[in-house]
Amino acid sequence: MSNYTHDIVATIGEYTDREGNTKKRYQKCGAAFTNDEGQISIKLDAVPCSPDWSGWLSLYEKKEYDQPRQQQQQNRPPADPVRQQPAAAAADPNQDDIPF
């Protein structure tokens, strides 16, 4: 059985933060999986097309997201509920409000 063990990441350029520090810009491109025998398989989800990409991909140990970030996502307000169609419109699929 394979286990998700690494993120595959590309450095695709640089940017300047608010304090004026130059930082690298990264793009996650996929994941690496290690099986019980130690063999590594990779699954690419994206390949950078930035002219700043050097062509190199790096493996980083799988990032465990911190608990506060997960709690922030859980505390988000729910999405707008889907509006229900009136019962009469739902019963007759040929009936609609479009005049043509």
**pLDDT digits 0-9 by tens, 2-21:** 899 999 999 999 999 999 99
Gap between the Cα atoms of 58 and 26, Å rounded: 10
Quick one: pLDDT at residue 8? 95
Query: What are the structural domain ranges in the chain?
Result: 1-14+24-62
Q: Are 30 and 8 in contact (CB under 8 A)?
A: yes
Q: 16-25, pLDDT tens digit by residue?
A: 999 999 999 9
> Other CB atoms closer than 10 Å to residue 10's CB: what's the count?
22
Q: What is the enclosing helix (H) or strand (E) of 45?
A: none
- Percent of the chain at pLDDT above 90? 56
Quick one: pLDDT at residue 1? 78
Burial 20-53, CB ≥16 within 10 A → b, else e: eeeeeeebebbbbeeeeeeeeeeeeeeebeeeeb
